[in-house]
Chain A
Amino acid sequence: AQSVSQHNHHVILSEAASLELGCNYSYGGTVNLFWYVQYPGQHLQLLLKYFSGDPLVKGIKGFEAEFIKSKFSFNLRKPSVQWSDTAEYFCASDSGAGSYQLTFGKGTKLSVIP
């Protein structure tokens, strides 16, 4: 069975600090990868996705993620966080084949201090 691991449960940063959230997936075959964000009181929103091609993908709001196949990783980055980035971030994968079900990590709560 697939699994997705997010290493950090809670990250606290000051505004303008750089962000990197770790994500590792277990599936050894073709995989599609996603980062979702959930702002306080809102529903899950797609930040970015990787299907194939350039391993560095750019998403909304200045976020990017790098797919490193040899490390089974898909870490999320942002060079300079803002208070408005305070949210919970979820990494997810599907098997890339006929199955469309997403497997999510447990999430990382990001708190940005003004």
Chain B
Amino acid sequence: DTGVSQDPRHKITKRGQNVTFRCDPISEHNRLYWYRQTLGQGPEFLTYFQNEAQLEKSRLLSDRFSAERPKGSFSTLEIQRTEQGDSAMYLCASSSPVGREQYFGPGTRLTVT
């Protein structure tokens, strides 16, 4: 039973660089979510896809952030011109067509120096 996978698990980058993260959902899950978690906080919603359509975006998702799910399977989250405030754990989750419970991946920890 394969869960949600994320790559890379850790990323260290310099301020101003672009980074891209990948998420592979549980197979046959049509909904995919991105969240961000900082120390001492719960996860905060960023965006959500149903199949390839991006249906919701948080105000947290500035214009430096973009997410795609081109074929309705894996998704990528890109952050352009990274800032130190972008340092966080980026979590991906997926859910099935018939359920609302979300299953989370291990996350990508981003450190911006």
Do A and B bind? yes
Contacts from A to B (Cβ < 8 Å): 4, 32, 34, 36, 42-46, 49, 51, 90, 92, 94, 99-107
- Nearest Cβ in chain A — how far from B18, in angstroms? 26
Which one of B19-27, B35-43, B63-71, B79-87 is at the A interface? Answer: B35-43
Contact of B44 among A46, A94, A104 (CB under 8 A): A104
Q: A44-B91, A46-B103 are in contact. Are A104 and B48 (CB under 8 A)?
A: no
The verdict on A101 contacting B56 (CB below 8 Å), with A46-B101, A49-B101 known, is: yes
Roughly how many angstroms separate A23 CA and B78 CA in the complex, as a whole number?
Answer: 33
Chain B residue total in the interface (Cβ 8 A)? 23
Q: How far is the CA of A61 from the CA of B43 in the complex (A)?
A: 23
Q: What total of A-B pairs shows CB separation below 8 Å?
A: 54
A43 B58 Cβ-Cβ under 8 A: no
Jot down 6 A-B pairs with beta carbons below 8 A, ordered by A.
A44-B91, A44-B93, A46-B102, A101-B48, A102-B43, A107-B41
**Residues in B63-113 with C-beta less than 8 Å from chain A:** 91, 93, 95, 100-107
Residue of A with least CB distance to B4: A43
> Are B43 and A104 in touch, CB under 8 angstroms?
yes
Is B105 a contact of A102 with CB atoms below 8 Å?
no
A-facing residues in B42-59 (Cβ within 8 Å): 42-45, 48, 56, 58
Supposing A100-B56, A101-B48, A104-B44 touch, asked if A43 and B33 sit within 8 A by C-beta, the answer is no
A10 to B34, CA, bound (A): 27
A43 to B58: give the CA distance in the assembly, Å: 23
CA distance A104 to B89 in the complex (A): 15
Q: Within the assembled complex, what's the spacing in Å between the Cα atoms of A90 and B44?
A: 12
Q: Given that A51-B100, A100-B56 are contacting pairs, would A43 and B106 also be in contact in the complex, using a CB cutoff of 8 Å?
A: yes
User: Do A99 and B101 touch across chains, with their CB atoms under 8 A apart?
Assistant: no
B104 touches A99 (CB 8 A): no
Q: How far is the CA of A104 from the CA of B40 in the complex (A)?
A: 12
- Closest chain-B Cβ to A67's Cβ sits at a distance in Å of 15
Please, which residues of chain A bring their CB within 8 A of the CB of B93? 44
